[in-house]
Amino acid sequence: MHPKAFENGAQAGEHDHALDIASEASPNYLRWIADLCKPHLGHDVMDVGAGHGAITEHFAAGRSVLATDLSDTCVAAMRRRFAAAPNVEVQKADLRELGPEEVGRRFDSIVLINVLEHIEDDAGALAHLAGCLRPGGAFVVYVPALNGLFGPWDRKVGHFRRYSKWRLRGVAAAAGLQVVELRYVNLLAIPAWLAFSRLSMRVNEDPGTSLSLWDRTGVPLSRLIESRVRPPLGLNLLCVAQTPDR
């Protein structure tokens, strides 16, 4: 089955707004995500659901990148961002229509950052996109974790779920992939997330203020701690999963 992508206009609008907030208020966090992904990326990368390209920008140097998104707003933002970057191609695309024939080549790596939770058939999405990878190529997937934290903000921006390790491992296996890295990230952000998700649902409240404060204080501390000790839980999961090497 092909994956179901964003089809609800209201949710797509909320998602675009959330990306605006994140891009402006969370530069340290976005750089952290990019730095987590970098060691697992090859030279030729497809970034699916790249949003405004704020994370793409951090790992694009020295690589050939195809950045895609379904949103006209996001595609326009990326075209402005990468107008002077010949190594980054921007394409409007529904991931259901992304195949090697459509994009014209195969990739060493496919990145999905905060994308898979928006897709009803997540295993189907990975299986479909795997056709765009070279043999032995890898998905680098970053998703929200701990379904017990699922709340109004998740519903507002179109999340179907959050993930545990066992669930994400099962999705990868169902897509015919082998998990080579699976780790929780961002443990200290769990209480901050609970506060943010409640605050962001209030009328006339600006979640960007609280996000910016956390980005300046909590993110550097989290990076320091997690560079030394891998947490047993976290607000997010990083997964690297390979296609068969043949």
Query: What pLDDT does residue 2 have?
Result: 35
Is the pLDDT confidence value at 210 over 80?
A: no
| Strands, sheet with 107-113, edge to edge from the N-terminal-most edge strand | 88-92, 64-69, 44-48, 107-113, 133-144, 236-242, 178-185
Share the mean pLDDT of the chain: 86
| 145 three-state secondary structure | strand
C-alpha to C-alpha distance for 35 and 154, rounded to whole angstroms: 25
Is the pLDDT confidence value at 21 over 50?
A: no
As assigned by CATH, the class of the 9-242 domain is alpha beta
Tens of pLDDT, residue by residue over 143-187, are: 999 998 998 888 888 999 999 999 999 999 999 999 999 999 999
Q: Name the more confident of 122 and 2.
A: 122
Binned at pLDDT 50, 70 and 90, residue 8 comes out as: very low
Parse the chain into domains and list their residue ranges. 9-242
